[in-house]
Structure 1
Amino acid sequence: MGYYELCCRYTGRDVTITCIDGKKYSGRITHVTDTHVYLQPTSSHFRGFGYGYGWGYGYGRRRFGFPIALAAITGFVLGAALWWI
């Protein structure tokens, strides 16, 4: 199963995603396209761009949240298993 199918299967669930560059993003999957998964931050542990600028909320992505390229994903964990990172 690829990351696209995995993300589609767990839409609406809290996850932690690790990218190629080693950054980790935690949030709820709100939308999945052929190229991106969108996370809505659900914790103060969310690592990425802030709420008022950047990709997440300043460029018309309010409906879906922060986009992450599916091609950049190297790890995927369900639930609160890695909230402490």
Structure 2
Amino acid sequence: MQLDPQGVAPEDLSHAGSIVDKAIEYMMQQKVAPISAASALLGGALGLLARTMDDRAIAAVLRNALVSVETGELREMRDHLPGGQQAG
């Protein structure tokens, strides 16, 4: 796995994101509740992190996610859903 030139994101991050987006789309078509889909994805992600990173690295990933919530980055994503949809 290669990092981008600034050493931030793996080069295959976009590909992985596309796969996850398709999985989410499929779950929504199957009428899986959003909280169930999100919980399953988060649980799977945490399990993968636990198998591939030490606790300090996992904590750093989680801190970055928390910063995204606290700075409003995720709210901005919610506010720009296609078709003016509102989440939740």
Fold shared by both chains (TM-score > 0.5): no
| More contact order relative to length (CA 8 Å, sep ≥ 6) | 1
Higher helix share: 2
- Higher strand residue share: 1
TM-score normalised according to structure 1 size: 0.25
**TM-score, with normalisation over the residues of structure 2?**
0.25
